[in-house]
Amino acid sequence: MVWGSISLARALVAANLVHEYQTRVLPVILGEGESLFNNSDPIDLELSRPRAMSRDW
């Protein structure tokens, strides 16, 4: 888990220091934001444990 700015997260990705990505898709409209993978070299990701979350969050 990274607590910090998007620039810190991008620096960790660029230095190949990220072992695992955990993403969630939430139905919230916040407007525009910055992409973690914007303007970066392609990253070879592997889907390892897909699962549906309950709706009781």
Q: Which long-range contacts (CB under 8 A, 24 or more apart) does 21-29 make?
A: 21/45, 24/53
pLDDT for the residue numbered 39: 66
Of residues 28 and 51, more confidently modeled? 51
Give this prediction's pTM.
Answer: 0.53
pLDDT of the residue at 54: 75
How much is the pLDDT for 48? 84
Tokens of 11: 């620096």
Distance CA 2, CA 15 (A): 14
CA atoms of 26 and 45, how far apart (whole Å): 21
Element (H, E) at 6: helix 6-14
